[in-house]
């Protein structure tokens, strides 16, 4: 398949661009990848002395170029920890560039290819991160339109999930920075309404997320077929069955893959379900969220759900409803479009090498915000440069490059770390001492430092001061304990102080994440300081509480707000 640039212009041939300086500050280095929308280079920002990724856009002149840069600048306004950071948008010698953060690590597609499918906990963690990223984009009126494993980066050493390649993103009500009149995106992850030529909306990105979650659980999209026509038929008309590997996540997957956009699971409900699963290991009842505000209609459950699914939200694979007649007609129209166009424009994965560690920090405290998954972390692997071409209906090209060794966390001017620990100045705005081999990970609200085997989890959360103070906050969390944590027991809350400030200490035991691991115990202290509530906890198997208490005491003794 021929890759095309804007308005069908051929993508420029390879050029020796290494060591070229653009905009007076960005020195281009190794080419990381290329596709229909642009070429990505590893580069050095000589003004700030940092490594960046520079994407050279393949656009024409005049209005087309102006529109591309306008939309790129809008994408740059999206600020979210799971969206790739855009540092700059520049023009140099008639060429247009987007300067982005350089995420050292492979894509989710790389991860699946190297290590196989993810478990449900890790899949839920990835899904939760992507929901946050998409929500931030949608709030700005930006649709991604190409959510797929190749466009999800897994940062080496931290496991941070990053949504990238907004190259075919569209502003609501505007044209796209990709070529006019051609289909853009990856058909295996494209919603049926887009296949039919209908206007895309935020719900279209949620469909793509549902397909991505299936791919994470099985290794490939549920709509993968041997031909483009087969893919279109699968998306628009074939029966949809959540994969067996989805297990307890099957109701969520089915809700996202609802063909009727009016009935498709919304972002808020999907986030609620994933948050609960990541935190407690079980999916809440569908529709068990608080009643909608007066005057706002309740969102119906997806069609085709059995009474058992509606009542328990714990199913295996089940059949999706028959598509409506309009969708069948749309399939014919979509196939005609394919016959006329003759090719589907594709975008490239402009990613970094696989080998980033898996996040392991799952919070086992009830009533808390979303946490991360439970599989054990692994140190980043130093892999040679690899290039992989995927000859599927998405015609994706992947080029990866080896990462440098991850930098050590910056030292803090705070209290020194005892033997066997290192002091970290966390980007979230605090400092503490953690064991030498613990790795940092995070979700949308909290930071974790996790042992290599996943047994020990040091968690930190910083929020505005809570009504009623630390004691009231702990009591609210304790009240949710029995409903959120199986076997919740041995729970105590004690008012105390931390560095002379009012604090509350909460302890509890529960059945743990799996029978193999057994019961876990958590020590949790929170206190108010300068208008903020700091919450620090350590959880571990009940057979290793001596070590857990040592980590807990060290974290508290060394903790300093602001690093």
Q: Does residue 69 register a pLDDT over 50?
A: yes
Helix (H, G, I), strand (E, B) or coil at 256: helix
Looking at the chain, the whole-number percentage of residues with pLDDT higher than 70 is 67
Contacts of 553 (CB under 8 A, 6+ apart): none
Q: Are residues 275 and 209 in the same domain?
A: yes
Contacts of 13 (CB under 8 A, 6+ apart): none
- Residue 287 tokens read as 């529709």
Q: Domain ends where: 372, 402, 432?
A: 402
pLDDT given for residue 460 in this prediction: 95
pLDDT-derived band of residue 185, with 50, 70 and 90 as boundaries? low
pLDDT-derived band of residue 443, with 50, 70 and 90 as boundaries? confident
Residue whose tokens read 């809008």: 74
pLDDT-derived band of residue 412, with 50, 70 and 90 as boundaries? very low
Mean pLDDT of 471-483: 90
Helix (H, G, I), strand (E, B) or coil at 51: strand
Q: Are residues 375 and 524 in the same domain?
A: no
Q: Are residues 383 and 452 in the same domain?
A: no
Q: Are 495 and 525 in contact (CB under 8 A)?
A: no
Residue whose tokens read 């659980």: 217
Q: Are residues 350 and 202 in the same domain?
A: yes
Mean pLDDT of 412-417: 60
Q: Are residues 333 and 208 in the same domain?
A: yes
The 10s digit of each residue's pLDDT in 37-54 is 678 889 999 999 999 999
Q: Are residues 245 and 378 in the same domain?
A: yes
Q: Are residues 262 and 378 in the same domain?
A: yes
Beta pairing partners, 396: 390
Tell me if 43 is assigned to some domain.
Answer: no
Alpha-helix runs per DSSP H in 77-119: 108-115
Alpha-carbon gap, residue 505 to 35, rounded angstroms: 54
Domain that holds residue 505: 421-561
Our separate counts of H helices and E strands in the chain read 13, 23
Alpha-carbon gap, residue 269 to 469, rounded angstroms: 29
Least confident of 83-92, 278-287, 542-551: 278-287
Tell me if 195 is assigned to some domain.
Answer: yes
Task: Indicate which residue of 146, 205, 426, 443 is catalytic.
Answer: 146
Q: Does residue 343 register a pLDDT over 90?
A: no
Alpha-carbon distance values, 115 to 163, 348, 378, 382 (Å): 20, 22, 12, 15
pTM comes to 0.51
CA 105 to chain CA centroid, nearest Å: 14
Q: Are 197 and 333 in contact (CB under 8 A)?
A: yes
Mean pLDDT of 503-523: 88
Could you tell me the CATH number of the domain that includes residue 227?
Answer: 1.10.510.10
Q: Are 315 and 67 in contact (CB under 8 A)?
A: no
Neighbours of 140 (CB within 10 A): 16
Alpha-helix runs per DSSP H in 162-201: 192-195
Task: Please calculate the CA angle 177-180-184 and round it to the nearest 5 degrees.
Answer: 70
Q: Are residues 373 and 444 in the same domain?
A: no
Q: Which residue has the higher pLDDT, 9 or 72?
A: 72
Q: Are residues 373 and 463 in the same domain?
A: no
Tell me if 497 is assigned to some domain.
Answer: yes
The 10s digit of each residue's pLDDT in 239-283 is 898 899 999 999 999 999 999 999 999 999 999 999 888 888 887
Helix (H) or strand (E) holding 137: helix 120-139
Helix (H, G, I), strand (E, B) or coil at 335: helix
Q: Domain ends where: 402, 433, 448?
A: 402
| Residues, the chain | 563
Mean pLDDT of 456-462: 94
Q: Are 389 and 139 in contact (CB under 8 A)?
A: no
Tell me if 318 is assigned to some domain.
Answer: no
Neighbours of 410 (CB within 10 A): 12
Could you tell me the CATH number of the domain that includes residue 520?
Answer: 3.40.1000.10
Tell me if 77 is assigned to some domain.
Answer: no
First and final C-alpha spacing in the chain: 52
Q: Are residues 332 and 444 in the same domain?
A: no
pLDDT given for residue 319 in this prediction: 35
Count: domains in the chain: 2
Angle, in degrees to the nearest 10, between helices 202-218 and 267-280: 30
Helix (H, G, I), strand (E, B) or coil at 388: strand
Tell me if 3 is assigned to some domain.
Answer: no
Q: Which residue has the higher pLDDT, 544 or 343?
A: 544
Beta pairing partners, 475: none
Q: Are residues 375 and 463 in the same domain?
A: no
Q: Are 459 and 525 in contact (CB under 8 A)?
A: no
Helix (H, G, I), strand (E, B) or coil at 330: helix
Tell me if 267 is assigned to some domain.
Answer: yes
Q: Is 146 a catalytic site residue?
A: yes
Q: Which residue has the higher pLDDT, 385 or 233?
A: 233
CA 131 to chain CA centroid, nearest Å: 7
E strand segments, 454-500: 457-464, 489-498
Mean pLDDT of 224-250: 91
Q: Which residue has the higher pLDDT, 397 or 548?
A: 548
Tell me if 495 is assigned to some domain.
Answer: yes
Alpha-carbon gap, residue 450 to 448, rounded angstroms: 6
Q: Are strands 421-426 and 430-435 parallel, antiparallel or unpaired?
A: antiparallel
Contacts of 267 (CB under 8 A, 6+ apart): 131, 134, 135, 138, 202, 206
Residue whose tokens read 């102080």: 497
Buried-state track 235-260, b at ≥16 Cβ within 10 A, e below 16 = bbbbebbbbebbbbbbbbbbbbbbbb
Q: Are residues 388 and 440 in the same domain?
A: no
Alpha-carbon gap, residue 152 to 15, rounded angstroms: 28
């Amino acid at each position: 398949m021929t890759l095309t640039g804007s308005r069908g212009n051929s993508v420029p041939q390879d050029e020796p661009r290494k060591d070229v300086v653009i905009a007076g500050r960005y020195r281009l280095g190794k080419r990381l990848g290329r596709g229909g929308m642009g070429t990505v280079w590893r580069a050095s920002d000589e003004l700030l002395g940092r490594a960046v990724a520079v994407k050279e856009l393949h656009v024409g002149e005049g209005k087309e170029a102006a529109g591309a840069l306008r939309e790129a600048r809008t994408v740059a306004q999206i600020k979210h920890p799971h969206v790739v950071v855009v540092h700059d948008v520049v023009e140099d010698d008639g060429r247009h560039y987007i300067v982005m953060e350089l995420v050292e690590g492979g894509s989710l597609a790389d991860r699946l290819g190297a290590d196989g499918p993810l478990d449900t906990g890790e899949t839920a963690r990835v899904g939760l991160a992507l929901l946050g990223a998409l929500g931030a984009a949608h709030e700005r009126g930006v649709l991604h339109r190409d959510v797929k494993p190749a466009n999800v980066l897994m940062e080496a050493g931290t496991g941070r999930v990053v949504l990238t390649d907004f190259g075919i993103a569209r502003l609501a009500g505007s044209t796209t920075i990709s070529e006019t009149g051609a289909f853009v995106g990856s058909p295996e992850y494209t919603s049926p309404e887009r296949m039919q030529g209908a206007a895309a909306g935020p719900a279209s990105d949620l469909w793509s997320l549902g397909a991505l979650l299936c791919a994470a659980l099985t290794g490939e999209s549920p709509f993968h077929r041997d031909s483009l026509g087969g893919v279109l038929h699968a998306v628009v008309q074939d029966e949809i069955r959540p994969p067996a590997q989805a297990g307890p996540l099957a109701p969520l997957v089915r809700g996202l893959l609802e063909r009727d956009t009016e009935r498709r699971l919304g972002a808020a409900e999907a986030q609620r379900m994933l948050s609960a699963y990541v935190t407690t290991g079980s999916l809440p009842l569908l529709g068990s969220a608080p009643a909608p505000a007066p005057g706002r209609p309740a969102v119906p459950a997806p069609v085709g759900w059995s009474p058992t699914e509606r009542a328990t939200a714990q199913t295996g694979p089940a059949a999706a409803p028959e598509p409506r007649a309009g969708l069948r007609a749309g399939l014919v129209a979509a196939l005609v479009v394919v016959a006329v166009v003759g090719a589907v424009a594709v975008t490239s994965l402009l990613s970094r090498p696989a080998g980033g560690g898996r996040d392991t920090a799952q919070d086992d405290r009830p009533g808390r915000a979303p946490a991360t998954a439970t599989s054990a972390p692994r140190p980043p692997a130093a892999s040679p440069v690899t290039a992989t071409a995927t000859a599927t209906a998405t015609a994706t090209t992947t080029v990866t490059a080896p990462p440098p060794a991850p930098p050590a966390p910056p030292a803090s001017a705070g209290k020194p770390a005892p033997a066997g620990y290192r002091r970290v100045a966390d980007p979230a705005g605090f400092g503490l001492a953690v064991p030498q081999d613990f790795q940092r990970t995070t979700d949308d609200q909290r930071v974790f430092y996790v042992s290599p085997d996943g047994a020990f989890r040091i968690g930190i959360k910083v929020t505005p001061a809570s009504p009623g103070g630390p004691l009231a906050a702990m009591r609210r969390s304790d009240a949710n304990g029995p409903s959120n944590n199986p076997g919740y027991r041995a729970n105590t809350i004690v008012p105390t102080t931390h560095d002379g400030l009012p604090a509350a200490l909460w302890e509890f035991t529960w059945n743990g994440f799996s029978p193999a691991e057994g019961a876990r115990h958590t020590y949790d202290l929170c206190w108010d300081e300068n208008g903020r509530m700091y919450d620090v906890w350590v959880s571990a198997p009940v057979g290793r509480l001596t070590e857990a208490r040592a980590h807990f005491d060290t974290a508290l003794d060394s903790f300093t707000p602001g690093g």
